Amino acid sequence: MNRETDEVLDGVGPRLRALRRHRGITLADLATTTGVSESTLSRLESGQRRATLDLLLPLARTYNVPLDDLVGAPRTGDPRIHLTPIRRFGMTFVPLSRRPGGVQAFKMIIPAQPEPPEPTPQTHDGFEWLYVLNGHLRLVLGERDLTLPPGEAAEFDTSSPHWLGSADGCAVELLILFDPQGMRTHIHTDPHRASHGGSQR
């Protein structure tokens, strides 16, 4: 191994110990959760045991952090973050979060369409919060047909039939927080407005 790699690996133990203590987790509890013996975890944190992928993966899952955060590998090359867009159903989703599991954040772009398609509501497990950045969003939620202008937000259980599209055929940009576990966000629309925000079409 080269010197840089040695320095990275030498820093893993103290980083793991600090993270465990910050979370208030004992070695015994961590051993039960990860399936890694308490003695191995202790030697890993003290630097007596070198970090391996087999040891780091269960720890990353337990702490719910990216593997890179445990290793603390130095960033090289272009320091800019390059987000890989995902294209589905004619729309573009740009992931804004890296955490495995839990709430996921996306920027969603609905392209301009001279003839907007007919709504095709879908259902799936989870809970969604959205905020319109630009354009006018058409949100079909159950029997409701709403139009949300820029600055409007909405939240809903995705087990209800729902569909997102452009209200006027122009492009729409919005932020989305999606929780696959179905937990509500702590940001709510004005209670004096419609329960899901926006105006009735």
% pLDDT > 70, the chain = 77
Which CATH number does the domain housing residue 190 bear? 2.60.120.10
Over residues 12-35, mean pLDDT: 88
- Whether the pLDDT of residue 187 is over 50: the answer is no
User: DSSP label at 160?
Assistant: S
Q: Which domain holds residue 29?
A: 3-71
Q: In this structure, is residue 116 part of a structural domain?
A: yes
Domain boundary among 20, 46, 71: 71
Same domain, 136 and 188: yes
Which pLDDT score is estimated for 77? Answer: 46
Which pLDDT score is estimated for 117? Answer: 83
Find how far residue 121's CA is from the centre of its chain.
23
Task: Give the predicted TM-score (pTM) of the model.
Answer: 0.51
Which CATH number does the domain housing residue 27 bear? 1.10.260.40
The answer to whether 23 and 63 have CB atoms below 8 angstroms apart is yes
Per the structure block, which two tokens stand in for 82?
């390059």
- Whether the pLDDT of residue 177 is over 80: the answer is yes
Q: pLDDT averaged over the chain?
A: 80
Per the structure block, which two tokens stand in for 40?
């191995």
- Whether the pLDDT of residue 199 is over 80: the answer is no
Q: What's the farthest any 2 CA atoms get from each other in the chain? A: 66
Same domain, 149 and 90: yes
For the chain, the domain total comes to 2
Same domain, 91 and 51: no
Q: In this structure, is residue 99 part of a structural domain?
A: yes
Over residues 51-58, mean pLDDT: 85
What is the four-CA torsion angle of 136, 129, 157, 83, rounded to 10 degrees? 100
What's the pLDDT band for 55 if we cut at 50, 70, 90? confident
Over residues 36-50, mean pLDDT: 90
Same domain, 90 and 60: no
- Whether the pLDDT of residue 172 is over 60: the answer is yes
Q: In this structure, is residue 13 part of a structural domain?
A: yes
Domain boundary among 48, 71, 94: 71
* Highest-pLDDT range among 97-111, 161-175, 177-191: 161-175
Same domain, 90 and 65: no
What's the pLDDT band for 196 if we cut at 50, 70, 90? very low
Over residues 148-174, mean pLDDT: 92
- Whether the pLDDT of residue 136 is over 70: the answer is yes
Q: In this structure, is residue 107 part of a structural domain?
A: yes
Q: In this structure, is residue 142 part of a structural domain?
A: yes
Which pLDDT score is estimated for 179? Answer: 84
pLDDT digit string (tens) for 68-115? Answer: 777 765 444 444 455 667 787 788 888 887 666 677 888 999 998 888
Domain boundary among 12, 45, 71: 71
Q: Please identify which residue in the block is written with the tokens 């006018």.
A: 136
* Highest-pLDDT range among 9-18, 30-39, 88-97: 30-39
User: DSSP label at 122?
Assistant: B
